[in-house]
Amino acid sequence: MKAHLHRHRFFCIGAALGAGLAAASASADLIVIHADRLIDGRTDRAVERRSVIVEDERIVGIEAGFVELEGADRTVDLRGHTVMPGLIDMHVHLDDEQSPDSYEERFRLDPTDYAFRSVRYAERTLLAGFTTVRDLGASDGIVTSLRDAIDAGWIVGPRIFAAGKSIATTGGHADPSTGVNREYASDPGPAEGVVNGVEDARKAVRARYKEGANLVKITATGGVLSVAASGDNPQFTIEEIEAIVAAAADYGFRVAAHAHGAEGMRRAVLGGVHSIEHGSYMTEEIMELMKERGTAYVPTLSAALFVAEKAQVDGYFPEIVRAKAAAIGPVARGTFARAYAAGVPIVFGTDTGVSPHGENWREFVYLQEAGMPVIEAIQAATLRAAVLLGADADLGTLEPGKLADVVAVPGDPLGDAQLMGRVDFVMKGGVVIKAPAPTRAADSRD
C-alpha cells in the first residue's frame, strides 16, 4: 500500500491509512516500521503484518499490511520480526552489579566509581530492549543524576523512575552501616534512609523528595545479601509503614516494599504499599490479601536463581550470606508458581544489579518455566508495569498517542521465551537506538 504525504505547516496522512492518524507538525520526523507480527501489550495474541507509524516521539498509527508513505523520512524493515512495546523492568539497581568483590568494594570505591559504572549498565539495559526501568535503591544521588543525564541526552540509557536511597530501620536490610567494622559504623537517620518511629518515617520520605526521587522503596524485611543472620524477619511496624505511605501520597509517590518473609509482607500490604518485591516466603493468606488490596507482586526470579547458583562457588559470598542465597532460588520459583495460579497481580521485575545488567530478558524464560505463558509475561513487562508506574497514558502499549517505545526480536517469542534475549531493534521515544540493518531512506525505496 502506498499513500501520499503532503507537508504544510500542519499535515495529515491520507485516507488510505485510516482515520486513526492524527495531524502533526511538518517539522517532525516520520518513520514507518514494517513487522511480520505485532504484540500490542494489551491483547492476548499477536497480529500479523502491521505497519507502525511514528511521528516525532509518538505513535500516530498502526495499520494492517506494509504501508509505504511517500514523504516518510525512513522505513524500517522488520519483516521476519515480532515488534512489541518497549519493555519495562520494575526492579533494577543501575549503580552496581554483584560480584565476589562487592562487599570489599564498599570500603574501597568512591561514589564516582559507581557513577561511571552506571553509565555502562544503563546502556546495556536499553540495548536489551528495556526502554524504561524502576530503580529501587541507590545512594549518593547516583541514579537520580543518571536519570537526568539520560533525559538530557548526554548519555544513552532507559527512561528511569528512581527511588533514591531505600528506607530501612536501624540494622535493617538498607541500613548502610549494617555489617561493617564498628570503627566505620554509625547511627544514620532519616536523611540517610534509616527510620525508627512514625516521625522518622515521614521525614525519610520528605528527604527522598528533596533528593529528587520519583517514588519510595522500603525494606520491609531482612534481605538475602545483607551481612545479617535473617533474610526474612519483619523490620517495620504497620504504623511506620502507614506513615511512609501517607507521606508518599502527599508527594505523588508510590511505595515499593522489598519483602521476603510473610509477616513483613502482611504489614506492608496492610500498610498500603503498592508492590511487594521478591515475596519469597509468601503464604496463601498473603496472596489473598494482595488480591483483595490490588497489591502487585514483582517476583525477581532472576536475582533469586542467580544468587542460589553463586552460593555454590566458594568465596563468592560471605558465609553469613551464603546459606541464605543457597536457599532462596527454589523457594522463589515455587512461590511464584503458586501466586500465579492463585491470580495474584504480577508485574515484571528482575532485581538486575544482583544478576548482570543486560540479561534482564532471562526473567521471561524463568516465568515461562514456572508456568506463565510468554504473552502474559510480556504484558507484565509492558502494560501492567506502566500501570504500576502510573505512566500508562504514555507507556506500556503500541497504540496511537503513546510514546514510540518499540522493540523487536526475530521470530515468534510466544513459542520460545529465549528469543527475548535476541532483541535487535530498539526505539525509545521515536529515536532508533539499535537496528538489525540500516533503515532505508524514504527516497531510495522505489
Q: What is the pLDDT of residues 84-109, one digit of tens each?
A: 999 999 999 999 999 988 888 878 88
128 Cα distance to chain centroid: 12
CA dist., res. 423 & res. 4, Å (int) = 32
Mean pLDDT, residues 323-340 taken together: 93
Grid cell listed for 57: 516521539
Closest Cα to residue 383, out of 357, 361, 402? 402
* Mean of pLDDT values over 150-169: 96
Contact between 413 and 365 under an 8 Å Cβ cutoff? The reply is no
Higher model confidence: residue 23 or residue 444? 444
Length of the chain as a residue count: 446
| CA 61 – CA 10 distance, rounded (Å) | 17
DSSP state for residue 226 in the 8-state scheme:
S
The pLDDT value given to residue 365: 98
* pTM tops 0.75, yes or no: yes
Cβ-based burial of 376 (10 A; exposed 0-12, middle 13-18, buried ≥19): middle
pLDDT at 7 over 80: no
Structural domains of the chain, ranges and CATH numbers in brackets: 2-86+398-444 (2.30.40.10), 87-389 (3.20.20.140)
DSSP 3-state of 439: coil
Cross-strand bridge partners of residue 217:
256
pLDDT level of residue 28 (50, 70, 90 thresholds): low
How far apart CA 253 and CA 164 sit, in angstroms, is 12
* Mean pLDDT, residues 9-21: 32
pLDDT in tens, 190-241: 888 889 999 999 999 999 999 999 999 999 998 887 777 777 888 899 999 9
Q: How confident is residue 182, by pLDDT bands cut at 50, 70 and 90?
A: low
Q: Which of the two residues, 298 and 110, has the higher pLDDT score?
A: 298
DSSP 352: B
Phi-psi region of 279 (alpha: psi -120 to 50; beta: other; left: phi over 0): left
Amino acid code (one letter) for 313 = V
Q: How far is Cα 16 from Cα 3, in angstroms, rounded to an integer?
A: 6
Residue 137: closest CA among 258, 223, 250? 258
Q: Do the bridges between strand 30-38 and strand 47-55 make them parallel or antiparallel, or are there none, so unpaired?
A: antiparallel
For 101, phi then psi, to 5°, come to -95, 0
> Which residue, chain included where needed, has cell 523490620?
235
Strand partners, 258: 219, 277
